[in-house]
Amino acid sequence: MPRFQARLGRLQRTQDPTGAWKFIQKKVDVLLTVDLVRLSCEKQIQRAVLIAGDSDFVPAIQVARDAGTIVQLYHGSNPRPHDELLRVADDRIAIDDALIRQVTE
């Protein structure tokens, strides 16, 4: 059975154009893609569920699928997910009002 650890990454403090301070998460996508590839290649998972919208996950999804893992992508619609991300996933599920009602009723 796979052991999972929290993927916290780190926070980077930056200033926006107005001078206000904000924090941006760093390295979390990379940590998740490493786990997806490792767990898939070691045959520790058969299915992966991702909530994403950008193409950062595309190479990891391709490797996971080549290793036999089924990849389900849950995504929003605004902004629209990257076309390549939609193309490489096995299943694509929009996170919309109908899905939210389905899981909360």
**CATH code for 28-104?**
3.40.50.1010
Whole-structure pTM value: 0.77
How do the domains of the chain map onto residue ranges? 28-104
94, containing H or E segment: strand 91-94
Express each pLDDT in 9-36 by its tens digit.
Answer: 777 888 988 989 988 877 788 889 999 9
Task: Give the amino acid at 77.
Answer: S
Instruction: Calculate mean pLDDT across residues 65-77.
Output: 95
Instruction: Look at residue 5 in the predicted model and tell me its pLDDT.
Output: 63
